[in-house]
Amino acid sequence: MRIAAVRGDITEQEVDAVVNAANSSLLGGGGVDGAIHRRGGPEILEACRELRSTRYPDGLGVGQAVATTAGKLPARWVIHTVGPTFTPSEDRSELLAACFRESLKVADTLGASTVAFPAVSTGVYRYPLAEAAEIAVRSARDTPTNVENVRFVLFDTESYEAFTAAVQHSE
Ligand code: ADP
């Protein structure tokens, strides 16, 4: 598997699947979630509502992942995953690692070979960047998968530098 960190906007990625840093409701939010729904159009939200009324009446659990159409995005699918909120009083690194592992498992069921991830949990969920980057890259590396290319897409310089360092550490 090739892993790269790039600067950019996840909604513009020409990959098979982009991962959304969703919340449990699956009904939209700010940050990456807001950008994906804005750019992808109402089809994605319709698919999310359908999932809520069928498979996930109580919402998608932290560390789980599920796919929908990508609507008008260049990607074919959006894989929604719910990161943990950071708290210093509890180690939630396993839950954060699960987001990447479960997203790659979903990618396998779709037959996706290129997947773009955002820096899950490092926005409003406040996970410390360097720690989140190491967990993300390690989890992707350690997951047995047919996905050939994993691209971490970072919005700002600080995130880009943290993920670039984590990718280098993992090589
Ligand atoms: P979470 O709720 O999991 O913390 P956020 O969406 O709040 O997720 O933020 C995760 C990271 O994604 C932050 O670093 C944020 O700056 C970044 N981000 C926001 N919009 C985009 C985008 N369009 N493409 C890539 N990254 C983005």
* List 9, 16, 33, 108, catalytic entry: 33
Q: Which residues contact 79 (CB under 8 A, 6 or more apart)?
A: 17, 18, 19, 20, 65, 66, 67, 103, 106, 107, 115
**Residue 87 structure tokens:** 């708290």
CB neighbours of residue 36 within 10 Å: 27
The closest residue, in CA terms, to atom 6 on ligand 1 is: 31
CA atoms within 13 A on the CB side of 110: 26
164 in contact with ligand 1, CB cutoff 6 A: no
The closest residue, in CA terms, to atom 21 on ligand 1 is: 32
Helical packing angle, 31-40 and 42-53, nearest 10°: 110
Helical packing angle, 93-110 and 129-142, nearest 10°: 40
pLDDT tens series, the chain, 171 aa = 999 999 999 999 999 999 999 999 999 899 999 999 999 999 999 999 999 999 999 999 999 999 999 999 999 999 999 999 999 999 999 999 999 999 999 999 999 999 999 999 999 999 999 999 999 999 999 999 999 999 999 999 999 999 999 999 998
The two beta strands, 2-7 and 114-117, are: unpaired
Known catalytic membership, residue 33: yes
Residue 127, H or E segment:
none
* Complex ipTM tops 0.90: yes
CATH node for 2-170: 3.40.220.10
What is the pTM for the complete model shown?
A: 0.98
